[in-house]
Amino acid sequence: MTLERKMLLNISNLKGISTMRLANENDIPQANLSRWFKSQKGGYVKEEKIERMAKYLGLDYKVGKLFPGVHRWTVPSHLIEDVLQVESIVQKFLPGGGTIYPVRRKNPILIKMTTESYVPWSPWVRWVLVPLAFPDLRVILKMGEKVKQLISPFDNHSPDPFRMEGWFCPEGSKGNKKEEIKKTLWVDLPEEMFLRLSGDEDLSVHDLDIILGITGSLGWTWEKLIPVLEAKGTTPDEIARNHGLL
């Protein structure tokens, strides 16, 4: 997969990194980088700098994939267009689907507020994506607070496996059109563990899985297996040949 300029900019925005900071951290003149992102005249950036910039954003420039480890992204807002854009980026970089774990800080008031539904602008809610095809990679999403005061409750949206091919809730369902989260699906964490999940830069995939209670098999089904095989480029003929069916 080739890393497009727009995709690099999208990932930069999701990580909360401005073009100025991206340019400064990678020794690129800011004006050049801004023009490069817009494909404007004078926007030349050396390939080695692009590769360095991609690595800074957690991307392997040569293969167009996320590096192993824990990635943290912020959805700009809970408006549907922002949520859909992030879901699209997730499916591009994490083909094959997986499980979405809704996580919240263990707090009686918060639990009451998020039972059945959710509070997208709450700083104490996260969504952890566990991709089936990439066992050494996790993505933690939080919701931004952009223009929240102007949005009615009916415009609140969050990442939803119902809309995402190959993605499921922890118990294997696809969610629902109402974007409600069953109270049994929430992972409630003590404050210390929640803060570690949210901001510890040294948090490993193994430690994150322990925090979430993920152990052993991820529960393979044909519905989960097929998109993962497709994501890895495996064809039906290959599978049939490997099992002596051809």
Query: Residues 117-138: pLDDT tens digits?
Result: 555 557 788 999 999 888 899 9
| Cα–Cα distances in angstroms (integers) from residue 117 to residues 47, 114, 154, 182, in the given order | 46, 5, 12, 7
pTM of the model: 0.83
Amino acid code (one letter) for 132 = L
Taking only the tens of pLDDT, the chain with its 246 residues reads 556 888 899 999 999 999 999 999 999 999 999 999 988 887 788 999 999 999 999 999 888 889 999 999 999 888 888 899 999 999 989 988 999 999 999 888 777 776 655 555 577 889 999 998 888 999 999 988 655 545 555 567 888 898 998 899 888 888 777 777 788 888 999 999 999 999 999 999 999 999 999 876 656 677 667 776 776 678 888 887 887 777
Pairwise CA distance, residues 159 & 167, whole Å: 10
Query: Residues 38-77: pLDDT tens digits?
Result: 888 877 889 999 999 999 999 998 888 899 999 999 998 8
| Cα–Cα distances in angstroms (integers) from residue 120 to residues 13, 150, 179, 195, 228, in the given order | 18, 14, 11, 17, 29
Range 5-60 classified under CATH 1.10.287: no
79 in helix, strand or coil?
A: coil
pLDDT at 22: 94
pLDDT at 149: 47
**Domain layout of the chain by residue ranges:** 5-60, 68-231
Q: Which candidate, 144, 164, 182, 14, places its Cα nearest to that of 99?
A: 164
Amino acid code (one letter) for 81 = E
If 0-12 CB within 10 Å is exposed, 13-18 middle and 19+ buried, where does residue 145 land? middle
pLDDT at 148: 52
